[in-house]
Amino acid sequence: MQFGNENGVLTARHRGEMLRIEAWGKDSLRVRATQLPAFTDRDWALTEEAGTWQAEVVIGWEECRREDGEKDRKVFASITNGRIKAVVNAGGVITFYRDGKKFLQEYFRNYDGTLCRQSRCLKIVNREWKAVIGGSEYSLNVKFESNDGEKLFGMGQYQQSYMDLKGCVLELAQRNSQISVPFLVSSLGYGMLWNNPAVGQVMFGKNYTEWTARCTRQMDYWLTVADAPKQILENYTAVTGRAPHFPEDRMGLWQCKLRYRTQEEVLSIARKYQEEGIRIDQIVIDFFHWTVQGDWKFDKKYWPDPKAMVDELHSMGIKVIVSVWPSVDRRSENFQPMLDRGLLMRTERGELQTYDFQGDCVEIDVFNPETREYVWEVCKKNYYDLGIDAFWLDNSEPDLGVYDFDHYRYMEGPAMSCSNMYPQLYSRVFYDNMKALGEEYVVNLLRCAWAGSQKYGNVVWSGDVPSTFEAFFDQVQAGLNMGLAGIPWWTTDIGGFMTDDVEDPDFHQLLIRWYEFAVYSAVLRMHGDRGPHNIPRLDERDWGGGYLFTGHDNELWSYGEENYRIMKKYYDIRISMHNYIRDLYEEASRNGSPLIRTMFYEFPEDEICWELQDQYMFGDRYLVAPIFHLNEFEREVYLPAGRWKDTRDGKEYQGGGRIRAAAPIDSIPVFERM
């Protein structure tokens, strides 16, 4: 092992591998390695200036005992940046320390005469590189020792009931309702970013942790240490970026359904809300308002004067957001020009098709800057110049006909090597250009994200999830972990997306429970496909804005008088919290804190709070206990130490224990921290 000190950067060479460890932010280190002649220039999620941090590099010798029992001296090196320290031994195995206490170590089980520890005959190495045949990339497997009793959180959004990810196997890939944001927060006081957009997997096993990138040119991860999760997230967002300021005129109700099919439908709903005295901040025009995918324009048969529509909505104080998909139908007027100019995804073999919903489509290549400009120019002309305020960037993973990632290629390289970053670059088609035109607030809605997406004005929602209580519980776990992965603007389809029977009273109960939760989340947004699909089509053509199915009504008044009463009641609660919600958004911009928070985020010293999955904090003041079961009208709530007040009746409680709280259909337990 050859160690070097390059102006406070620890370098090493060993058996063809180059290793580089450097200070990168407060109490943080960036670790890279490659088998190639040089490192790439990609910083991926680490986009912010890390500042100047003076790291101390030491290269020395340690005494140890060989396998034959004889004493020996072996070289080692260390680098220290504030409270974090990395030590690399003679075989290249890295151990990390926080304030002198080990918190993470690479896993090595191989016999090697140069090593004094962890010698085994298993031939398992800490960093395993295997060449991708015929290419310059490698598959990479990095292993770490597992820590007994450790809890792990973050990593984005996975459709499962586990908030603590210890013991979980997670695919590092983007899918509809699955969002890979590879940053974790550990109960041992550290955070780790797997700074690699390659498709892969992470296994948080009991015996070891294993990160895999199936196609990459280098290893790249970042570690930080702090006393509590809030400081870990502050360190992380300092180097990956923080959410911008959120406009106050979009902190209320967003109205959406599948789908408003005509200009008059949209206006009639907006007028009805105005008559009812309920302000909606934004109304959403969903998919297939267009001609075919990739035309990115209104179908004039059903939207004859979109500018007049937008002007009327603006006069009511309502912002307008339209759906834009990254798929381009072969029938689109943009397909051939984009194909000829190389602006579309490519397939590695066979036919050029990547998406097959309602057309033979190919997705755009957002890694190509020319693609991003082309799409923006079309959308600017057909939407933005008409006064459209924001864009719903649906299918932003992108959604693929088959998730065979090894079948696709971008300008950046094989999809296997970079596709997790697709949703971030897709969002920048709009964010970068809208900011360049002087937009003060850019807020777009996306179905996916990656590390650092928070800085590009992304409200991320949890995708097309079922309308079940089980899915509702899973979304809360997903939202809490998204917040810990640095994505504070997160929301769901109230009531879930996929409803079979809009008249089912059990669904109505789910809808109300979900709505009550959503009031205490970042964005209050009505959406969903309300079945059955028995509404006649407007048009018999197999294309255009009138032929596709739509869902049943999904406005606050659509579910009967009693449910309308409850939703209006909670709408008023939302509006009453406006200043508080504004402050939470400002805090997210200031230090990266999410709006919905795990209990341990606010109470890290309380061991019980590290176990709780069925309640959360909305900011630092409100403890929210949703109802996750049908016909459940009371539940147990844990109140941490301190004074708490039930927001419904004003009754005060001394914390430090559990209570039984009533939960009639028209309210959920919410306690205010005194």
Report pLDDT digits (tens) over 464-513.
Answer: 999 999 999 999 999 999 999 999 999 999 999 999 999 999 999 999 99
Distance CA 9, CA 22 (A): 5
Q: Say what the pLDDT of residue 134 is.
A: 83
Of 99, 110, 70, nearest to 89 by C-alpha is 110
Of the pLDDT bands very low, low, confident and very high (cuts 50, 70, 90), residue 116 is very low
Decide if 504 is catalytic.
Answer: no
Phi, psi of 90 (to 5 degrees): -65, -25
Whether omega before 488 lies within 30 degrees of 0, making that bond cis, reads: no
Q: Which residue has the higher pLDDT, 133 or 347?
A: 347
- Cα 429 to Cα 41, 315, 411, 546, 660: the distances in Å are 22, 28, 16, 28, 50
Distance CA 631, CA 216 (A): 50
Instruction: Name the active-site residue from 137, 286, 329, 397.
Output: 397
* 3-state secondary structure at position 463: coil
Given strand 413-414, what is the order of strands in its sheet? 346-347, 408-410, 413-414
Of 404, 369, 383, nearest to 323 by C-alpha is 383
Q: Say what the pLDDT of residue 426 is.
A: 98
DSSP letter string over 66-129? -TTS-EEEEEEEEEEETTEEEEE-TT--EEEEETTEEEEEB--B---TT-SSS--SS-B-SEEE
Q: Which residue has the higher pLDDT, 459 or 119?
A: 459
Instruction: Name the active-site residue from 464, 539, 587, 672.
Output: 464
Q: Say what the pLDDT of residue 120 is.
A: 62
Pairing of the two strands 319-324 and 390-393: parallel
Q: Say what the pLDDT of residue 112 is.
A: 61
- Cα 589 to Cα 191, 233, 234, 254: the distances in Å are 19, 12, 10, 22
* 3-state secondary structure at position 581: helix
Give yes or no for a contact between 279 and 317, defined as CB atoms under 8 angstroms apart.
yes
Residue 640 is encoded by which pair of tokens?
A: 């941490």
Decide if 666 is catalytic.
Answer: no
- Paired with 79 in beta bridges are 57, 86
Burial of 7 (0-12, 13-18, 19+ CB in 10 A): exposed
Single-letter amino acid code for the residue at 456: Y
- Cα 669 to Cα 438, 571, 615, 665: the distances in Å are 43, 16, 10, 11
- Cα 560 to Cα 16, 104, 279, 566, 567: the distances in Å are 70, 56, 20, 10, 11
pLDDT digits (tens, 9 = 90+) for 296-341: 999 999 999 999 999 999 999 999 999 999 999 999 999 999 999 9
Residue 120 is encoded by which pair of tokens?
A: 């085994």
Of 503, 321, 487, 300, nearest to 394 by C-alpha is 321
pLDDT digits (tens, 9 = 90+) for 48-75: 987 888 899 999 987 766 656 677 778 9
Q: Say what the pLDDT of residue 73 is.
A: 75
Q: Say what the pLDDT of residue 64 is.
A: 67
Residues 6+ apart with CB under 8 A from 503: none
What is the average pLDDT across 157-169? 98
Residues 6+ apart with CB under 8 A from 404: none
Of the listed ranges 11-25, 120-134, 164-178, 415-429, the least confidently predicted one is 120-134
DSSP letter string over 179-241? EEEEEEEETTSEEEEE---SSEEEEE-SSEEEEEEEEES-EEEEEEE-SSHHHHHHHHHHHH-
Phi, psi of 191 (to 5 degrees): -125, 150
Burial of 436 (0-12, 13-18, 19+ CB in 10 A): exposed
In this predicted structure, the answer to whether residue 399 has a pLDDT above a threshold of 60 is: yes
What length does the chain have? 674
Residues 6+ apart with CB under 8 A from 461: 445, 446, 447, 490, 491, 492, 493, 523, 525, 527
Q: Say what the pLDDT of residue 51 is.
A: 82
Phi, psi of 655 (to 5 degrees): -75, 180
- Paired with 636 in beta bridges are 660
pLDDT digits (tens, 9 = 90+) for 82-98: 999 999 999 999 999 99
Fold assignment, 2-240? Immunoglobulin-like (2.60.40)
Percent pLDDT > 90 in the chain is: 92
Helix then strand then coil, % of the chain, to nearest 5: 25, 30, 45
Q: Say what the pLDDT of residue 544 is.
A: 85
Phi, psi of 355 (to 5 degrees): -150, 140
In this predicted structure, the answer to whether residue 118 has a pLDDT above a threshold of 80 is: no
Residue 34 is encoded by which pair of tokens?
A: 């490659």
- Paired with 408 in beta bridges are 347
Give yes or no for a contact between 634 and 663, defined as CB atoms under 8 angstroms apart.
yes
* 3-state secondary structure at position 481: helix
pLDDT digits (tens, 9 = 90+) for 430-440: 999 999 999 99
- If one counts every other C-beta atom within 10 angstroms of the C-beta of residue 456, the result is 23
Given strand 280-285, what is the order of strands in its sheet? 490-491, 458-461, 444-446, 390-393, 319-324, 280-285, 253-255, 524-526
Residues 6+ apart with CB under 8 A from 385: none
What is the average pLDDT across 191-209? 98
Q: What is the CATH number of domain 598-673?
A: 2.60.40.1180
Give yes or no for a contact between 616 and 597, defined as CB atoms under 8 angstroms apart.
yes
Instruction: Name the active-site residue from 360, 394, 474, 555.
Output: 394
Helix (H) or strand (E) holding 480: helix 469-484
Give yes or no for a contact between 176 and 447, defined as CB atoms under 8 angstroms apart.
yes
Decide if 333 is catalytic.
Answer: no
pTM of the model: 0.97
pLDDT digits (tens, 9 = 90+) for 573-626: 999 999 999 999 999 999 999 999 999 999 999 999 999 999 999 999 999 999
**Structural domain boundaries of the chain?**
2-240, 325-442, 598-673
* 3-state secondary structure at position 638: strand
State whether the Cα torsion 254-257-261-267 is positive or negative: negative
